[in-house]
Structure 1
Amino acid sequence: MPYKVLVVDDSSFFRRRLTDILNADPNLNVIDVAVNGIEAVEKAKILKPDVITMDIEMPHLNGIDAVKQIMKHSPTSIIMFSSLTHEGAKITLDALDAGALDFLPKKFSEIAKTTSDAGRVLRQRVTQLARKNSTIKVRANLRDVVANKPPVKKVLSVVTQKSQAVIQKSPQNYKILTIGTSTGGPIALQKVLTQLPDNFPVPILIVQHMPASFTKAFANRLNNLCKISVKEAATGDQLKAGHAYVAPGGKQMVIDGNNSTAKLKIIDDVSERVAFKPSVDITFASAARVFGKDVLSLILTGMGSDGKDGCRLLKGKGATVWSQDEESCVVYGMPQAVAKAGLSDEELPLDKISSSILKVFDLK
């Protein structure tokens, strides 16, 4: 059965265009459209779509407030359409905070070079979120069954056993923490990083797949929320304990020097060879070269397999790799690629990652 999609936008042209693109995939079916946030909230309750595409600027009720109401009354996977501007970045991050899972540029030319490629990316992203929504509904049904208290102890053990990993203080002297993520990453990173103390003993490198106009706003938001210092990385930044550096969108972030004089170098990358800019693989490879075994690396929620090759290089040096578990991921792509390749030392639920980091570094 095709996944059900609700398209929300006040532009009739965009609604028609988006509907045609999504319906080109037999696994997707646009079941209805809404012209403002109020309609979106009501139709989400009645139609129970698998995924909603949501515009931000709309009359009567804007996209952010609509997301808040939908997530309160009828939780659904939502992908936002945003302008790639600094102001658009801040608004989109607000939408992700409200409960949206992903975002795409409203100008299709900013998604991909050709219209056909943009359509393919859009359909792929919507399908991934629709799958996640179906999983959410299955889990909700399971919780309802548990609430009715039939003999379900075996079911409960299956659901929870992945969360039983025990992390202890590491005898390894980690000198850096590296994190790679994509779809679902902004909120996942926020949950992890806000739990770290200001005296965190090593620097943190963050590679989040994100447009160039978004990364500075994202870094500033994290800096305002976290006890550690967070900034968009720049060439010449010295790696300092208790500081996190977000790779700029559209560029590559690498470590220069050696492990005692490490600095960051930001590279303009016009190569067609590397799909992601920034790329987790490239940053992780430089961490492997400079810090060897003394790296703790995390692969969080995200589409695709970026990070797998970088983790392979890190493991070859004796470094430690953790990946987020399937149940807590928005998209179990990047962590799955690492886990399936046998590169993950631990698969952890999102709500256990920050406490596990604190234990490894013997922090309270």
Structure 2
Amino acid sequence: MSSRSSPRAVVADDSHFMRSVISDILEEGGIEVVTTARDGRAAITAVREHEPDVVTMDVEMPEMNGIEAAERIMAERPTPILMLSAHTDENADVTFEALEKGAVDFFTKPGGEVSMEMSRLKEQLVDMVLSVAEVDVTTDAGRSEPASASEPTIKPGSVVENPTLVIGSSTGGPTVVEQILSELPAAADLRILVVQHMPTDFTGRFATRLNKRSEYTVREAGDGDRIGGGEALVAAGGRHMEVSNYRSGRLRVALTDDDPVNSVRPSVDVTMESAAAVIDDPLVGVILTGMGTDGAAGIRAIKAAGGTTLAQDEASSAVYGMPKRAVETGQVDAICPLDTLSDRILDAINAEVH
């Protein structure tokens, strides 16, 4: 793509009205819509003929749905894809499948008076399309297949007691988080907090997917929830997750409706800073792929508290925004390729034994 300010887009949606609304929003935001498509097959043809920089792809379409179209496009002419998904459980499951097939991220369509809601969200949509258009999908960055759970590589008694891991991620993050959790053995006895920038109604499904792919018991966080070793919480969409209490290896979280931090809620900074303030046992903070600055202050706080800090490297990140900002603080202990992150996490909690 020649310039971030003028990417070329294909808009795929089975609704003529939505195609028009989305196209108008993108054009007003400086994004050239080269053509539109009414179903998955037409989207594949449009990508083949116009070679766009980015595709906005509706999840549910006739003839061929978004997940099938995304898979075909990534196989034939890899192009950054932003899925557009409705707030339904079925759409959430299909959206995660599309991310597995190579789509970069997703944007939730508003309900109710669609045109008014889309207008309200237009700045967010334009920013997301611009960010997704910058992703190099010709590499494997952020698109690794989730691995099966690793065999424990830790000898009993070799790990420090009561370690806590806090993971922060955004664009390109869901499949990366899946891979890391699938590789962490239960023997590590971690307490895990995951903050993935994701809308309400999707974080519960995300937690369910992580639970199935991990040796850890994973659930969406509820206000007042407690976890101990071998358990993980995913921050609920639309609410901040603070560590409110820590005692005898068990931590409690509180969910708040406080104002967005770094323009997001949940915010990685909120969770990491509260963890650093409350937890006095070994603490590891990890910043993964994503756009924006969220997590940088959290990394500072964890480092200041004596914890270990890690960031995903640029080559394996779909969007090297959050990790870059974390690294720029000078408080990151190691910058790691995705394939080594789980090992570095285990190294961090082993190192404290010596």
Task: Classify the TM-score, shorter chain.
Answer: 0.7 to 0.9
Cα distance in 2 between the residues matched to 1:45 and 1:172: 54
Corresponding residue of 1:268 = 256
Cα distance in 2 between the residues matched to 1:70 and 1:249: 30
Structure 1: state its 5+ residue gaps.
141-168
In the alignment, does 2:91 pair up with 1:88?
Answer: yes
Deviation at 1:322, TM superposition (A): 0.6
Corresponding residue of 1:319 = 307
Alignment of 1:40-189 (within 5 A): 40-107=43-110, 118-133=121-136, 136=137, 175-189=163-177
Q: CA distance change for structure 1 residues 274 and 41 in 2, over 3 Å: closer, same or farther?
A: closer
| Equivalent position to 1:6, from 6, 10, 15 | 10
Q: How many percent identity over aligned positions? A: 39
Helix, strand or coil for the counterpart of 1:358?
helix
**Deviation sequence 1:139-177 (CA, Å, 0-9, x none):** 69xxxxxxxxxxxxxxxxxxxxxxxxxxxx999777211
Query: Quick check: 1:231–1:244 contact (8 Å CA) kept in 2?
Result: yes
Q: CA distance change for structure 1 residues 110 and 95 in 2, over 3 Å: closer, same or farther?
A: farther
Deviation at 1:85, TM superposition (A): 2.4
**Deviation sequence 1:332-356 (CA, Å, 0-9, x none):** 1111111112121111111221222
Corresponding residue of 1:294 = 282
In the alignment, does 2:208 pair up with 1:220?
Answer: yes
**Deviation sequence 1:266-307 (CA, Å, 0-9, x none):** 323143667322111111111101225721110011111111
Q: CA distance change for structure 1 residues 311 and 181 in 2, over 3 Å: closer, same or farther?
A: same
Helix, strand or coil for the counterpart of 2:134?
helix
Q: What residue identity is the alignment partner of 1:62?
A: N
Cα distance in 1 between the residues matched to 2:113 and 2:226: 33
Cα distance in 2 between the residues matched to 1:327 and 1:188: 13
Q: CA distance change for structure 1 residues 292 and 312 in 2, over 3 Å: closer, same or farther?
A: farther
Helix, strand or coil for the counterpart of 1:263?
strand
Q: What residue identity is the alignment partner of 1:4?
A: R
Greater helix proportion: 1
Query: Quick check: 1:84–1:211 contact (8 Å CA) kept in 2?
Result: no
Q: CA distance change for structure 1 residues 272 and 61 in 2, over 3 Å: closer, same or farther?
A: closer
Deviation at 1:234, TM superposition (A): 2.3
Query: Quick check: 2:162–2:249 contact (8 Å CA) kept in 1?
Result: no
Structure 2: state its 5+ residue gaps.
141-154
Corresponding residue of 2:246 = 258
Query: Quick check: 1:293–1:318 contact (8 Å CA) kept in 2?
Result: no
Deviation at 1:199, TM superposition (A): 2.2
Deviation at 1:262, TM superposition (A): 3.5
Cα distance in 1 between the residues matched to 2:9 and 2:178: 28
Q: What residue identity is the alignment partner of 1:14?
A: M
Q: CA distance change for structure 1 residues 295 and 268 in 2, over 3 Å: closer, same or farther?
A: same
Q: What residue identity is the alignment partner of 2:273?
A: A
In the alignment, does 2:25 pair up with 1:25?
Answer: no
Cα distance in 2 between the residues matched to 1:356 and 1:262: 23
Helix, strand or coil for the counterpart of 1:248?
coil
Cα distance in 2 between the residues matched to 1:274 and 1:124: 14
Q: What residue identity is the alignment partner of 1:12?
A: H
In the alignment, does 2:285 pair up with 1:285?
Answer: no
Query: Quick check: 1:292–1:319 contact (8 Å CA) kept in 2?
Result: no
Query: Quick check: 1:5–1:49 contact (8 Å CA) kept in 2?
Result: yes
Q: CA distance change for structure 1 residues 312 and 109 in 2, over 3 Å: closer, same or farther?
A: farther
| Equivalent position to 2:183, from 195, 198, 216 | 195
Deviation at 1:190, TM superposition (A): 0.8
Query: Quick check: 1:57–1:63 contact (8 Å CA) kept in 2?
Result: yes
Cα distance in 1 between the residues matched to 2:332 and 2:341: 14
| Equivalent position to 1:332, from 303, 317, 320 | 320
Helix, strand or coil for the counterpart of 1:264?
strand
Cα distance in 2 between the residues matched to 1:334 and 1:109: 33
Q: What residue identity is the alignment partner of 1:319?
A: G
Query: Quick check: 1:9–1:35 contact (8 Å CA) kept in 2?
Result: yes
Stretch moving more, 221-230 or 270-279: 270-279
**Deviation sequence 1:191-247 (CA, Å, 0-9, x none):** 111111222222111111111211111101111111222111223433221211111
**Deviation sequence 1:23-67 (CA, Å, 0-9, x none):** 1233x2111111110111222223222111000111110111111
Q: CA distance change for structure 1 residues 177 and 128 in 2, over 3 Å: closer, same or farther?
A: same
Please give the TM-score of this superposition, normalised by the length of structure 1.
Answer: 0.83
Cα distance in 2 between the residues matched to 1:68 and 1:198: 33
Q: What residue identity is the alignment partner of 2:251?
A: K
Helix, strand or coil for the counterpart of 1:80?
strand
